[in-house]
Amino acid sequence: MPLILPDQLIDQEVLNQENIFTMTQDQADHQDIRPIKILIVNLMPKKEETELQLLRMLSNSALQMNIDLVRMDSYKATHTSQDRLKKFYKTYDQIKDQNFDAMIITGAPVERMDYQDIIYWKELKHIFDFAREHVFSTLFICWSAQAALYHYFGVPKQEVEEKIFGIYQYEKKKEDPILKGFDDSFYAPQSRYTYVKEEDLREIPQIQVLSSREDTGVGLATTLDHRFVFSFGHWEYDKETLHEEYLRDLDKGLDTQIPKNYYRQDDPQGDIIMNWRSSGSLFFSNWLNYCVYQETPYQLEKIKGVKVAKFGGSSLASASQFSKVKKIIQAKEDREIIVVSAPGKRSKDDQKVTDLLEKYYEGKKRARDLEVMIESFRKDQAAKRQEAQEALAAVRTRFQEIVRDLDLEEALKEDLDETFQDLDKTQSKDFVLSRGEYLNAKILAQALDYDFIDAKDIIRLKSQDQLDYGESYKAIIKTIHKGQRVVVPGFYGANAQGDIRTFKRGGSDYTGSIIASALQSKVYENWTDVSGIMTQDPNLSKDAKRIPSMNYQELTDLIDQGAQVYQRDAIDLVKEKNITLKILNTNAPEEGGTEIKDQEDK
């Protein structure tokens, strides 16, 4: 199928010689087909050569493609005329509001420079962020793969003294759609002074390494959802590309060694052994088919990030509050992941469900201890048992009122009965305290017709207060699928033995942050009973005003000064991904709340 290129980008005779089939935009518009939209961010100095190499690889597919080219507006290229760049290339500002099926970001001869010292680094970071929201799958090549891993995950690059230069054989580490049809070993051209260690990627649960060598580092890696593909080699290279680069290095007086496994008998005057073209063609074809065409939505505007919304106990304290929450969730299609706390106070003199559950547990524990005491304490034992049962009865009544008022009694009767039977049997305090969030999540999932996912199945703990980030992130990514609408109870997880373990109070903030971080959420909404962060305690001062926005450091400073506005341990999880945190009022969603986010570079 043809490529749809900017008119006169490449001479038609050259395209014919390369067997690259093209058509005009007018011809494409008259066909009953949506071409996939591909954006090429060309950072290479010899742009015409790179254009032709990439177009040759793309044209091997049976798909019809509309190609757009992007240049760095903050850097003036010296190897290509400015007139040609302005005629055929767009800037980030010209495409930033569009959506694309795929994007390719090329390498650049800047790998020895610190990222922050590169003239166009700020502009490139905007493009990296653009890829998350506006592109279904992005292929990063060579240096851009290293830069992207640094930007998204903080992975450092390593520098070598002798250039990684030549044709290298790689072993396939695992089966993956992008390597479908590949032999167990394959070849890829390499030309760089830096690399990424495989061990630096092992602790990132979203990433899988598909090929690697000790002397070159990672060769190929992808995110589990194939939204990002990191290729450290140059499958697009022509037969003569490394040879010409070798001669240029020699002309510059560089001590560059002969490209490895490239010349027959390592003789630069001899034949070149081309053994990467078939693998390269298959790689590009697989990427376009399995990572782009088979997965991308027909309407590109549907590409979006995941939004996690957490509702506090005051937001879900009664059936009327549930109705408000349901309305808020259904008001926006992208509120897919919901985290809930146990019912909070309905009034100033009311009690939180978790407080009642804690009373129940403490009373039951005390009653159990008294059983081994002498007869003189039996009256006290009976009283504590009564206190515990009254607390549990109050909890049961509270939930029964909610499900009755929501007309969910029949649907949730079995869950309620089973939960209270389990409460009566258990000796675990953590299990008891977790049931408020558990039942609230069950009720809200039923009310919304969302899937219920138990926090014990996705939140892993090494100990009472130590989260197992790696296992938790893997479980979250494996369990919560794109487009799935779920409700998750906050406040607890499970240890390696599967036993329920609760966080310290306020732990639902922590649960929401964990899930938002694992899914690289675009926004994390935290709904409560105040309209964001205030200048003063609104219960003590009528002059308290809402702070509309702040950065994470300002939020951390407030908490460290004693402000009870957010669970302290939960901040770093969303801060490190610069996820937008919004603190909102369930009872007054129109007031806007407070938005917390670090300023992006501009």
Catalytically annotated residues: 142, 234, 236
| Burial classification of residue 520, based on how many CB atoms lie within 10 Å of its CB (0-12 exposed, 13-18 middle, 19 or more buried) | middle
Neighbouring C-beta atoms of residue 271, cutoff 10 Å: 9
Cα 296 to Cα 368: distance, rounded to the nearest angstrom? 58
CB 274 within 8 A of CB 267: no
Cα 317 to Cα 322: distance, rounded to the nearest angstrom: 8
Decide: 509 and 451 in contact? Cβ < 8 Å: no
Cα angle vertex 434, ends 432, 436, to 5°?
Answer: 95
Q: Residue 91: helix, strand or coil by DSSP?
A: coil
d(CA 83, CA 62): 33
DSSP bridge partners of 23: 4
Of 57, 59, 3, 4, the closest CA to residue 26 belongs to: 4
Place of tokens 């003199």: 349
Can you tell me the distance from the alpha carbon of 262 to that of 242, in angstroms, rounded to the nearest whole number? Answer: 8
> What does DSSP say about strands 217-223 and 228-231: parallel, antiparallel, or unpaired?
antiparallel
Name the strand (E) or helix (H) holding 580.
strand 580-585
Q: Is residue 205 within 8 Å of residue 166, measured between CB atoms? A: no
* Close Cβ partners of 359 (under 8 Å, ≥ 6 residues apart): 387, 388, 391
CB burial readout 116-130, b (16+ within 10 A) else e: eebebbebbbebbbb
Instruction: End-to-end CA distance of the chain: give it in Å, rounded.
Output: 40
Q: Two tokens at 490?
A: 């906050």
